[in-house]
Amino acid sequence: MCKTKTLGAVIPPYHSVQDLRMRYNVFSLIKNSFSGHKNWQPAWREPQPKSEYDIVIVGGGGHGLATAYYLAKEHGLTNVAVLEKGWLGSGNIGRNTTIIRSNYMLPGNNPFYEWSMKLWENLEQDFNFNAMVSQRGVLNLCHTDAQRDAFARRGNAMRIDGVDAELLDREQVREMYPFFDFENARFPIKGGLLQRRGGTVRHDAVAWGYARGADSRGVDIIQRCEVTGIHIENGKVVGVDTNKGFIRCKKLGLATAGNSSETAAMAGLKLPVESHVLQAFVSEGLKPYIDGVVTFGAGHFYVSQSDKGGLVFGGDIDGYNSYARRGNLPMVEHVVEAGVAMIPSIARVRVLRSWGGIMDMSMDGSPIIDKTPIQNLYLNTGWCYGGFKATPASGWCFAHTIARDEPHKLNAAYRLDRFRTGHMLDEKGQGATPNLH
């Protein structure tokens, strides 16, 4: 086995790698248009794995790639590999409905999600990639007085943490979306909680932007490389088995979302996580119609309109444990019913496609970004319905946790042992169940 010293010399110095990449701007666009756009460079390399790295991240989804990016950018750690069993973006990062928001209530959650929002706001400049960050507003509808009270409380909690929140009455909502079913006999719309800074981001571009930014700083992104085993010696991680051979590492971070139970089990850990399938849908293209993100409050349905005109919508997880990236028809019907109750005019819109992703549902609806009982093994999981919006902060905090061997204060509440010690982060106050937000 090679020692790091020899390997250190092999790593191209920071700049020579970065110089291979061209920056994206109006000048490079014009320059490339003269050669018919045939001379664009690939956005990242396709390296073979080295036999040893300082840090290996398992999972090339949004969180794994963002972690590698921030390890390189914030901590100067570039002898890093991201191992992805499929291709970049094949997991939930390429399957979600692209909503970002920071409208949480609990002190352990809100500062983290607000940090994520701040990182989103500057992300495209930061990694020089167009991720189509669109702060078009996220509106949660309420249908009962009790729900409005709960929204007032959450909105106030958000504002205490410096997050924007506006409680709208029925007429204010009507002004934004006059075609909603306000007088629905069972679910009349009474108002809503609006976060104007919430919105949508092009999900694939997030993976690509982080991948390119990490790669250009020297990180090896290795696709079609599945981790099949974790080697532990004297309570310390020493490397991983993969379909491309054994790779030695000093630190190992797991960011495998819906497959977290399987990768953690390779290190003998049993997690407070279940894997469930969540479906999403897109309609045929329509003229501009719904300009923000809206969620129904009387059933689980949410919708936004993509730049191509399709309505992007989704609802609940199917409700049974699953590793299949497809769901069943009853949930399709259920989601569409809720949608039509909120917006009767979509009843005649045709659905173009539907798909599913495997969600890492934690037992209190909140994530885990932490060290583990095994030295040098770090865990990032439990993202439930909402890990996309968390991508920047999750990568940022996970990188910090790995680099410093201790959590940042923003992810200090996302402990693995909180279920044992009773420090759950249960936004809904509902108790242990794997179907929370």
Partner 1 sequence: MLIPCPHCGTRPVEEFTFLGDASVTRPTTNDPSSMEQWYDYVYLRNNPRGRFDEYAHHSGGCRSWLVVTRNTETHEVYGAVTARDYTRAKGARA
Interacting residues with partner 1 (CB under 8 A): 261-262, 270-275, 319-324, 328, 330, 333, 363, 419-420, 432, 434
Closest C-alpha among 91, 6, 81, 85 to residue 47:
81
For the purposes of burial, counting CB atoms within 10 Å of the CB of 61, is it exposed (0-12), middle (13-18) or buried (19 or more)?
buried
What are the structure tokens assigned to 329, written together?
Answer: 């028809």
Nearer to partner 1, 177 or 301 (CB): 301
Distance CA 221, CA 208 (A): 11
- Residue 272: name its binding partner from partner 1, ligand FAD, none (Cβ under 5 to 8 Å by kind): partner 1
Residues near ligand FAD (CB under 6 A) are 58-64, 83-86, 90-93, 95-99, 226-227, 255-259, 263, 278-280, 314, 357, 359, 383, 385-389
Nearer to partner 1, 263 or 283 (CB): 263
Question: Do strands 191-195 and 166-169 pair parallel, antiparallel, or not at all (unpaired)?
Answer: antiparallel
Residue with tokens 């932007």: 209
Q: How many CB atoms lie within 10 A of CB 8?
A: 10
Helices H / strands E in the chain, number of each: 12, 18
Nearer to ligand FAD, 148 or 313 (CB): 313
Nearer to ligand FAD, 278 or 416 (CB): 278
Distance CA 437, CA 386 (A): 7
Distance CA 401, CA 292 (A): 35
Nearer to ligand FAD, 239 or 387 (CB): 387
DSSP state of 211: H
In the complex, least distance from residue 329 CB atom to partner 1, rounded to whole angstroms: 8
- Residue 320: name its binding partner from ligand FAD, partner 1, none (Cβ under 5 to 8 Å by kind): partner 1
Nearer to partner 1, 117 or 271 (CB): 271
Nearer to ligand FAD, 142 or 211 (CB): 211
- Residue 434: name its binding partner from ligand FAD, partner 1, none (Cβ under 5 to 8 Å by kind): partner 1
- Residue 366: name its binding partner from ligand FAD, partner 1, none (Cβ under 5 to 8 Å by kind): none
In the complex, least distance from residue 338 CB atom to ligand FAD, rounded to whole angstroms: 15
Which CA distances in Å does 406 have to 238, 275, 371, 393, 397? 19, 27, 7, 16, 10
Radius of gyration of the chain (CA): 22
Nearer to ligand FAD, 67 or 376 (CB): 67
- Residue 14: name its binding partner from partner 1, ligand FAD, none (Cβ under 5 to 8 Å by kind): none
For the purposes of burial, counting CB atoms within 10 Å of the CB of 18, is it exposed (0-12), middle (13-18) or buried (19 or more)?
middle
In the complex, least distance from residue 63 CB atom to ligand FAD, rounded to whole angstroms: 3
Residue with tokens 């992007």: 312
SS3 305: strand
- Residue 99: name its binding partner from ligand FAD, partner 1, none (Cβ under 5 to 8 Å by kind): ligand FAD
- Residue 357: name its binding partner from partner 1, ligand FAD, none (Cβ under 5 to 8 Å by kind): ligand FAD
- Residue 270: name its binding partner from partner 1, ligand FAD, none (Cβ under 5 to 8 Å by kind): partner 1
Nearer to partner 1, 270 or 353 (CB): 270
For the purposes of burial, counting CB atoms within 10 Å of the CB of 435, is it exposed (0-12), middle (13-18) or buried (19 or more)?
middle
- Residue 216: name its binding partner from partner 1, ligand FAD, none (Cβ under 5 to 8 Å by kind): none
Contacts 24+ apart (CB under 8 A), 6-12: 7/50, 7/51, 7/52, 7/79, 8/79, 10/50, 11/78, 11/79, 11/218, 12/218
Distance CA 269, CA 378 (A): 12
- Residue 330: name its binding partner from ligand FAD, partner 1, none (Cβ under 5 to 8 Å by kind): partner 1
Nearer to partner 1, 65 or 230 (CB): 230
In the complex, least distance from residue 185 CB atom to partner 1, rounded to whole angstroms: 24
In the complex, least distance from residue 274 CB atom to partner 1, rounded to whole angstroms: 5
In the complex, least distance from residue 364 CB atom to partner 1, rounded to whole angstroms: 9
Q: How many CB atoms lie within 10 A of CB 304?
A: 23
In the complex, least distance from residue 83 CB atom to ligand FAD, rounded to whole angstroms: 5
In the complex, least distance from residue 265 CB atom to partner 1, rounded to whole angstroms: 8
In the complex, least distance from residue 423 CB atom to partner 1, rounded to whole angstroms: 12
In the complex, least distance from residue 241 CB atom to ligand FAD, rounded to whole angstroms: 10
